[in-house]
Amino acid sequence: MADPRFFDRAGPFTLAALAALSGAEVVPGAAPDLLLHDVAPLDGAGEGQLSFLDNRKYLDAFSASKAAACVVHPALADKAPAGMALLLSKKPYRSYALCAQAFYPLPQASGVISPAAHVDATAVLGQGVEIAAGVVVEAGAVIGDRVRIAPNAVIGRNVQIGADTIIGACASLSHCIIGARVMIYPGARIGQDGFGFAMDIDRHVRVPQLGRVIIEDDVEVGANVTIDRGAGPDTLIGRGCMIDNLVQIGHNVQLGAGCVIVAQSGISGSTRFGHHAVLAAQAGVAGHLTIGAGARIAAQSGVMRDVEPGTEVFGTPALPKRQYFRQVAMMGRLVRGKSGQGDERDGG
Amino acid sequence: MADPRFFDRAGPFTLAALAALSGAEVVPGAAPDLLLHDVAPLDGAGEGQLSFLDNRKYLDAFSASKAAACVVHPALADKAPAGMALLLSKKPYRSYALCAQAFYPLPQASGVISPAAHVDATAVLGQGVEIAAGVVVEAGAVIGDRVRIAPNAVIGRNVQIGADTIIGACASLSHCIIGARVMIYPGARIGQDGFGFAMDIDRHVRVPQLGRVIIEDDVEVGANVTIDRGAGPDTLIGRGCMIDNLVQIGHNVQLGAGCVIVAQSGISGSTRFGHHAVLAAQAGVAGHLTIGAGARIAAQSGVMRDVEPGTEVFGTPALPKRQYFRQVAMMGRLVRGKSGQGDERDGG
Amino acid sequence: MADPRFFDRAGPFTLAALAALSGAEVVPGAAPDLLLHDVAPLDGAGEGQLSFLDNRKYLDAFSASKAAACVVHPALADKAPAGMALLLSKKPYRSYALCAQAFYPLPQASGVISPAAHVDATAVLGQGVEIAAGVVVEAGAVIGDRVRIAPNAVIGRNVQIGADTIIGACASLSHCIIGARVMIYPGARIGQDGFGFAMDIDRHVRVPQLGRVIIEDDVEVGANVTIDRGAGPDTLIGRGCMIDNLVQIGHNVQLGAGCVIVAQSGISGSTRFGHHAVLAAQAGVAGHLTIGAGARIAAQSGVMRDVEPGTEVFGTPALPKRQYFRQVAMMGRLVRGKSGQGDERDGG
């Protein structure tokens, strides 16, 4: 399926091996030693291919699929076509993701330091590091084992990078400590000065930004993202956060573990997110706020107050979900020529 | 006019030559062999200079202009000052653009591969290719004839680039097939992983992104734009699309021919645009939607439903034009202290 | 305080010296020769450290602080704890910023041109210029005294850069004239073509962009910002403007002195800002508008009309402050089930 010019496939794997690595179980009756060679979508999969069902919307495609095997929730197993081998998982998408990672693992670090890279003599490189052409590693940088650094990236003075981390092409890092298994995408900017100055009609006066950026393990930072270093405290990206492209994160922001920050959203200085909070695309959060754990901020929202843990907010200024949709509905009635009172009145 | 340090001017051209290359006609009575040396705005143009009129708002400037020649719609020709040579065109701005391209053509590829570029021995280079200092071209890349690659750009493994395409400084490409006459601006990021993972409270699990980015001929991709590769299907940018700076295009998005995507807008995964649809600045479109051919989405709108071909939508959540402006007007009345009913009522 | 791996501290300085360089006065009774070694926040500062109070909200922290010295407004001096040395300033944050700059000055240009930089033989370099590895300086560029250019930045043909300017990693400049003491952050894109073309169903036709970008002295341009060159006139960024990350500035835009343009905001073509106007985060301004001096545009606003000097606007489409908040309040009442008339009516 995947274009072999761009993707190297591993495998094949037995059904039993895929079950083991993905936290699934082989359905009774299926052959544990069935060999699978690739992954594919339900409607395109065939012999030797593994697919998945994660959404009841695709039940018909599932029942009609010619996939040799499929990851599915146990409750839907009886909808499978005859002859399909099943991997049963209560988290079928997660199990599928682990199988797909087995077929298409991240490239290994080659252990080659390109002669066209510029690595300062005082930088410390771990075992098996790969550094591509055009990369600049400045004095005192510490690069962990098996780190891969793509062409033309820049690693600033004394920056530390944990093991198995990947730095994308043309990214630049300074004033930061990066954990293990982090993925920094191309063009990301990490550690530059925050936007801090004393406004003055004569001349704005820059305030030195004396903190760092700390990125914990297993974080992803999307393409052309900007994460400013702290003004005094550090900017902190917690373990396992997923940050999409073109996101802006201001100085002193702290994200708890597992937050999801979608494309083109922005977080102003000193705001804190609890773990697993979600900021959807193009949304913005003002400075010095607290967003509770598991809170969800809808796309394009503008948040000007703290958000309670586990709640959802929408709109600008952002409102709780129920209130926002009532407002949208009310506006709809008004413009259809009704007054917002009488029998059309929502009442609330 | 244009600063000669930055722009190399061609010409001069005769009026007849400009008419021929721009799809215009020389007005009867004008000298076809009149020599023109440059382009200039109506109010600054003089001897030997060509200007244009595209908007009735500038009729006075047209009538007062000292330009030697002007591109104008036939219906406005009688407003020209005496002595001005006219090029008549039903698409005067288009004709002017073609004349201006003649005076200021894109630089030719020099055919020089900089000794300070890092081109893998297995890359295939066409005729007359220009590769600047600091460029990295990885294994197996195929670079078409007369392609120009600016300093410090990165062309990933097996990427294909069509003839006469221009790659800007510090741009990075991977997992993609690029057509002919494409312009990729500085810092654009094409082909990195899409934002796909199985969310999990323990640890989000990355889903391998196994598609590509396909960019057809004559596309422009603005500075610092991000276009993610497909998750399985490809991300597709149709022929002649114009994409402005800092746009985000998610995995599996498909744009038909000639779409216009203005700065800082974003398109979520798997959404499809019909041909010649327009997404204005800072607007966003949710995932898995269909935007019809020729539809127009206003600036800062947030689109959460399909949009019919040829229609215009505004606001968040986006509404049809008429409904949106009625809503804005209604809000205006409400805040001026009127109730939205009785004689102030819009009625609808 | 600041991590010595990333920050080099100068000093110590006497209280008197800090007063002199920051426009403050030593409070009567304090020892002018008190030696200070560092800056620190009120709640963390101790012996030998200087802090500041700029906001009455932190009066308690001030009164409890163990900082050896503090910059404070004269009106609040009596709230200081016993034994604290005071620097009195009517602009305490500005004075503090100047002190902090003394302790943490910008690094000096090293005067070293890296042998791994690619500087065209026709480029003109001033005294003491620092050019890092991987930098490309094209033909005819003129680089002022003590300019610092970070790794992998690209300086295009004939670009001019004033003295003491800093160019960040992976930034790219073309078709531009840059003033003195400018800071260009990593990944900024300056001088590429504006988004100009004649729309056409057959094929959009690019209009050559024949202007430049002019950046005056003391400007800051944030990470991954895009500033397009003019279409014919120049794009102009006035003296002392502060531009945050991921901002888009279209062709022909002109910003007066001291404007503040916050992250992810965008300004469409040919719009002019008077001096000291503020565009907050994620806001957008349509093209061909005039924003008056000192005007303030709130976060996420969409401005479609001129804005008067000194006024504040909010929302999309943007409204004057009072009207916007009345609208928000009215909406709140409506969704709580009230009709917008009768005794709940705002009246206005």
CB atoms < 10 A from the CB of C340, how many? 24
Number of CB pairs, chain B paired with chain C, less than 8 A apart? 184
What is the reported pLDDT for B334?
77
- What does the block give as tokens for A201? 């009609």
What is the reported pLDDT for C337?
60
What would the mean pLDDT of A199-218 be, rounded to a whole number?
A: 96
Long-range contacts of A291-294 (CB under 8 A, 24+ apart): A293/A256
Q: Any idea what DSSP says for residue C229? A: P
| Cβ(B252)–Cβ(B219) below 8 Å | no
Of A4, A2, A69, which is closest to residue A33 (Cα–Cα)? A69
Residue B266 one-letter amino acid: G
Of B237, B185, B231, which is closest to residue B214 (Cα–Cα)? B237
**CA pair distance A84, C247, nearest whole angstrom:** 52
Complex ipTM value: 0.95
Residue from the list B192, B198, B248 with its beta carbon closest to the beta carbon of A93:
B198
Q: Distance of alpha carbon A11 from its chain centroid, rounded?
A: 26
Strands A278-279 and A290-291: unpaired
B232 touches chain A (CB under 8 A): yes
- List, for residues A84-136, the tens digit of each pLDDT value: 999 999 999 999 999 999 999 999 999 999 999 999 999 999 999 999 999 99
φ, ψ at B178 (rounded to 5°) = -110, 135
**CA pair distance C24, C22, nearest whole angstrom:** 5
CB atoms < 10 A from the CB of C289, how many? 17
C158 interaction partners in chain B (CB closer than 8 Å): 5-6
What is the reported pLDDT for C139?
98
φ, ψ at B334 (rounded to 5°) = -60, -45
| Cβ(A340)–Cβ(A329) below 8 Å | no
**CA pair distance A207, B342, nearest whole angstrom:** 57
CB–CB of C5 and A158 under 8 A? yes
A262 touches chain B (CB under 8 A): yes
Of B233, B189, B236, B238, which is closest to residue B211 (Cα–Cα)? B233
φ, ψ at B283 (rounded to 5°) = -85, 160
pLDDT at C346 over 60: no
- Which residues are CB-contacts of B241 (< 8 A; sequence separation ≥ 6)? B216, B219, B220, B255, B257, B258, B259, B260, B261
What would the mean pLDDT of B71-82 be, rounded to a whole number?
A: 96
Neighbours of A, requiring at least 3 CB pairs below 8 Å, are B, C
What is the distance in angstroms between the Cα of A16 and the nearest Cα belonging to chain C?
47
What is the reported pLDDT for C300?
98
- List, for residues A219-268, the tens digit of each pLDDT value: 999 999 999 999 999 999 999 999 999 999 999 999 999 999 999 999 99
Which pTM value belongs to this model?
0.95
Of A246, A144, B296, which is closest to residue C247 (Cα–Cα)? A246
What is the reported pLDDT for C6?
98
CB atoms < 10 A from the CB of B82, how many? 4
Q: How confident is the prediction for chain C on average, in pLDDT?
A: 94
What would the mean pLDDT of A199-226 be, rounded to a whole number?
A: 96
Of C201, C83, C285, which is closest to residue B300 (Cα–Cα)? C285
pLDDT at C339 over 80: no
Dihedral angle, C-alpha C170, C176, C179, C180, nearest 10 °: 30
Q: How confident is the prediction for chain B on average, in pLDDT?
A: 94
- Which residues are CB-contacts of B114 (< 8 A; sequence separation ≥ 6)? B131, B132, B133, B134, B135, C118
Q: Any idea what DSSP says for residue B122? A: T
What is the reported pLDDT for A162?
98
What distances in angstroms separate CA C87 from CA B268, C35, C76, one per listed residue?
A: 53, 13, 11
Residue from the list A39, A152, A264 with its beta carbon closest to the beta carbon of B154:
A152
Fold classification of C171-317 is UDP N-Acetylglucosamine Acyltransferase; domain 1 (2.160.10)
Residue from the list B201, B339, B340 with its beta carbon closest to the beta carbon of A276:
B201
**CA pair distance A168, A173, nearest whole angstrom:** 11
**CA pair distance B123, B149, nearest whole angstrom:** 14
pLDDT at C247 over 50: yes
- Radius of gyration (C-alpha) of chain A in whole angstroms: 25
What is the reported pLDDT for C213?
98
- List, for residues C140-149, the tens digit of each pLDDT value: 999 999 999 9
Residues composing chain C: 348
What is the reported pLDDT for A327?
87
φ, ψ at C90 (rounded to 5°) = -75, -15
Residues 160-219 in C contacting A (C-alpha not used; CB under 8 Å): 168-170, 183, 185-187, 218
- Terminal alpha carbon distance of chain B: 53
Cis previous bond, C107, omega within 30: no
B240 interaction partners in chain C (CB closer than 8 Å): 203-204
Confidence of residue B109 (pLDDT cuts 50, 70, 90): very high
What distances in angstroms separate CA C247 from CA A262, C59, C194, one per listed residue?
A: 18, 36, 14
A187 interaction partners in chain C (CB closer than 8 Å): 170, 187, 224
What would the mean pLDDT of A168-180 be, rounded to a whole number?
A: 98
Residues 58-117 in B contacting C (C-alpha not used; CB under 8 Å): 91, 93-94, 96-98, 100-101, 103-104, 114, 116
What distances in angstroms separate CA B63 from CA A121, B60, B96, one per listed residue?
A: 69, 5, 18
Residue from the list A101, A185, A262 with its beta carbon closest to the beta carbon of B192:
A185
Q: Any idea what DSSP says for residue B86? A: E
Confidence of residue C307 (pLDDT cuts 50, 70, 90): very high
Position with higher pLDDT, C331 vs A244 = A244
Domain(s) of CATH 2.160.10.10: residues in chain C: 171-317
- Which residues are CB-contacts of A342 (< 8 A; sequence separation ≥ 6)? none
CB–CB of B317 and A339 under 8 A? no
- List, for residues B313-339, the tens digit of each pLDDT value: 999 999 999 999 888 888 888 777 644
CB atoms < 10 A from the CB of A41, how many? 17
- The residue of A95, A245, A278 whose CB has the most chain B CBs within 10 angstroms, and thus the best one to mutate to test that interface, is A245
CB–CB of C96 and A201 under 8 A? no
pLDDT at A335 over 80: no
**CA pair distance A181, A166, nearest whole angstrom:** 7
- List, for residues A61-73, the tens digit of each pLDDT value: 999 999 999 999 9
Number of CB pairs, chain A paired with chain B, less than 8 A apart? 184
What is the reported pLDDT for B189?
98
- Which residues are CB-contacts of C138 (< 8 A; sequence separation ≥ 6)? B151, C120, C123, C154, C155, C156, C157, C158, C159
What's the number of CA atoms in the CB half-sphere (13 Å) around residue B141? 27
pLDDT at B4 over 60: yes
- What does the block give as tokens for B165? 């395409």
- The residue of B119, B138, B154 whose CB has the most chain A CBs within 10 angstroms, and thus the best one to mutate to test that interface, is B154
Position with higher pLDDT, C1 vs C2 = C2
B171-186 as b/e: b if 16+ CB within 10 A: bbbbbbbbbbbbbbbb
A124 interaction partners in chain C (CB closer than 8 Å): none
CB atoms < 10 A from the CB of B111, how many? 12
Of C216, C188, C23, C218, which is closest to residue C106 (Cα–Cα)? C218
Of the candidates B251, B275, B276, B288, the residue annotated as catalytic is: B251
A281 interaction partners in chain C (CB closer than 8 Å): none
- What does the block give as tokens for A317? 């200024």
Q: Span B13-103: which CATH code?
A: 3.40.1390.10
**Is B37 designated active site?**
no
Residue from the list A2, A335, A340 with its beta carbon closest to the beta carbon of B326:
A335
CB–CB of C200 and B94 under 8 A? yes
Of B289, C142, B334, which is closest to residue A331 (Cα–Cα)? B334
- What does the block give as tokens for C10? 């100068």
Residue from the list C134, C317, C340 with its beta carbon closest to the beta carbon of B134:
C134
Give the burial class of C201: count Cβ atoms within 10 A of its Cβ; 0-12 exposed, 13-18 middle, 19 or more buried. Answer: exposed
What is the distance in angstroms between the Cα of B207 and the nearest Cα belonging to chain C?
28
| Cβ(B191)–Cβ(B227) below 8 Å | yes
Q: Any idea what DSSP says for residue A101? A: H
What is the reported pLDDT for B345?
32
What is the reported pLDDT for A346?
35
pLDDT at B107 over 50: yes
| Cβ(C210)–Cβ(C195) below 8 Å | no
What is the reported pLDDT for B342?
35
In percent, how much of chain C has pLDDT > 90? 91
CB–CB of B348 and A341 under 8 A? no
Neighbours of B, requiring at least 3 CB pairs below 8 Å, are A, C
